[in-house]
Chain A
Amino acid sequence: MLELRNISKVYNPGTVTEMCLFDGFNFKVADGEFVSIVGSNGSGKTSMLNIICGSIPIDGGDVLIDGVSVNHLAEFRRYRTFGRVYQNPAAGACPNLTILENMSLADNKGKRFGLSSGVNKKRAGYYREQLAALGLGLEDKMSVKMGSLSGGQRQAVALLMATLTPLDFLILDEHTAALDPHTAEIIMQLTDRIVREKNLTAIMVTHNLRYAVEYGSRIVMMDRGHIVLDKAGEEKRNTSTDDVLHLFNQISIECGN
């Protein structure tokens, strides 16, 4: 279980642009949940992900995993049990390495990066299988450099890489936002399948209200550092896109957007 307890976060403290985003913010994600988070720009969605992953420091409160504080853990240590897919498809893999090399790197996560061969030939068959399951024909391009793939293909591989090793949490940071609608749909379906198959706990930030409603087991809407909507299970199933859109617009109007 992941818990944010009493988090406070102030941007640019002590300057004229000082902005208090979180003040006593609380949030919990139970194991096995697939939480979709929506909200307008500046509502704190991405900041929350960054706080969970340790990418930005916090000014107060605790990030707890299974009840144990991970505040002292550096960002890279937290990724031991986290997987993250970024909005930018280029962020998830190395453009100058081949697909095979990228997959091998991802496969070795959590193990020692020593002086044994970087590419494990025995695992190549497994990677091929995994790539074939994407249905993008990438299984025949294992020795192609990542940089020559399209954004959608890269994001698919990045998703695969992030989930190749056992995870506690999968963090999806607007991972369909930079893709065209058709590709975004494919990636979203793929995400859903992987989360189900591997039985992952996932937190997805998205601007696509339809995805937030259609996928996942829980929907959360944030606004200026507060949770304004939080529905799970039966309640979530009964929530329609229109309901969320309505609330979303209401907030936007209040904000003067």
Chain B
Amino acid sequence: MLDLIVSTLTQGFIYALLSYGVYITYKILDFPDLTVDGSFPLGAAVTALLLVNGVNPYLTLLVALAVGALAGLVTGLIHVKLGVRDLLAGIITMTALFSINLQIAGSNLSVERAIDTIFNAPPTMALFGGCSLIVRKLIVSMILALIFKVLLDLYFKTKNGLLLRAVGDNSTLVTSLAKDRGFVKILGLVISNALVALAGCVVCQEQRAFSSTMGTGQVVFGLATVIIGTTIFKKFDFVKGTTAAIVGSILYKICIQCAINLGLPANLLKLITAVLFLVILVLGNVKKGSLKKFGERLAPKTGKGR
């Protein structure tokens, strides 16, 4: 029972990293970024390859951040420099990444137990060696989630962070400030996808495997967690978006774990998820018009007006 709570929280914290990424694109940039479905397994593929080749597991965290950033950069450049619509730019990168991920990892790739991960490499053992692996996983993932939460919270308060928040809120203002809004958008995509790939990296170490299909549905997961989190804290202005993302991620994982433990058939899990998602959306009547905006992306743009 206690173990189940521990492992569910672990999952929640790990996936919170992905939720941060989606929070940045969806909530801050107002950019429906589908790159996530590709950058998440990208982080995992690179991590699996590096671990199998004996690279230090902590180093893989940094590499995953870097390759994720690169994926975000590609989507950003396609969108901003080539003028491809946001949704399509993400789809293009995601599709390309499917092949690239397979190219990197060969095919699905497992990491054998003899190889150390961030959960049992020497420094982690030195600090938390007294705890069982399941507890170490919770501690390490919680530390990661909290470190990046604090970093992001600090970043959002910097001049650069303010500019990022401004570009999604009112991109005209960014132009008025003599700043290239395209560049700021790219920056946002870079940060977002770096975090998403980091999530992929940690998941790969926790699951000891990369699978080419592991990215499917991660955008939806991210959106769901962000919307769950922000809807819950809608009335509480002082609750930070990153906190909402963590809470959303944990709640989502609790729901899945409940469904599994109540013996609901897995074939119905997605349907249950969809219904849950809809209920939360309707109850929260989330950010009036934001869904409409999402819909407008799908339809051709006719003018600049809202």
Docked complex: A63-118 residues within 8 A CB-CB of B:
74-80, 83-84, 86, 90-97, 101, 104-106, 108-110, 112-118
Q: Are B165 and A96 in contact (CB under 8 A)?
A: yes
- Chain B contact surface mostly: helix
CA distance A12 to B170 in the complex (A): 28
CB-CB under 8 A from B159, the residues of chain A are 104-105, 108, 112-118
Docked complex: B148-163 residues within 8 A CB-CB of A:
155, 157-163
Given the known A-B contacts A115-B160, A116-B159, A118-B159, are A109 and B178 also in contact in the complex, defined by CB atoms under 8 Å?
Answer: yes
Q: Are A79 and B162 in contact (CB under 8 A)?
A: no
Q: Are B170 and A95 in contact (CB under 8 A)?
A: yes
B216 at the interface (CB under 8 A from A): no
CB-CB under 8 A from A119, the residues of chain B are 157, 162
Q: Are A93 and B173 in contact (CB under 8 A)?
A: yes
A162 at the interface (CB under 8 A from B): yes
CB-CB under 8 A from B158, the residues of chain A are 114-118
CA distance A221 to B138 in the complex (A): 71
CB-CB under 8 A from B112, the residues of chain A are none
CA distance A243 to B43 in the complex (A): 71
- Selected from B166, B170, B174, B178, the residue in CB contact (under 8 A) with A110 is B178
Q: Are B175 and A94 in contact (CB under 8 A)?
A: no
Q: Are A76 and B170 in contact (CB under 8 A)?
A: no
How many contacting A-B pairs (Cβ < 8 A)?
A: 82
Docked complex: B167-184 residues within 8 A CB-CB of A:
169-170, 172-181
- Selected from B155, B157, B170, B179, the residue in CB contact (under 8 A) with A94 is B170
CA distance A246 to B181 in the complex (A): 44
- Selected from A79, A90, A96, A117, the residue in CB contact (under 8 A) with B177 is A79
Closest chain-A Cβ to B170's Cβ sits at a distance in Å of 5
Mark A122-137 against chain B: 1 for CB-CB distance below 8 A, else 0: 0000000000000000
Q: Are A96 and B169 in contact (CB under 8 A)?
A: yes
B166's nearest neighbour on chain A, judged by CB, is A94
CB-CB under 8 A from A108, the residues of chain B are 159, 177
CA distance A109 to B161 in the complex (A): 14
Q: Are B173 and A94 in contact (CB under 8 A)?
A: yes
CA distance A75 to B304 in the complex (A): 16
Seen from chain B, the residues whose Cβ lies within 8 Å of a Cβ on chain A are 155, 157-163, 165-166, 169-170, 172-181
Other A-B pairs beyond A93-B173, A118-B161, 20, CB < 8 Å: A75-B175, A76-B175, A76-B181, A79-B175, A83-B176, A95-B170, A97-B165, A101-B162, A105-B166, A105-B173, A108-B159, A109-B177, A113-B160, A114-B158, A115-B155, A115-B159, A117-B158, A118-B157, A118-B158, A118-B160
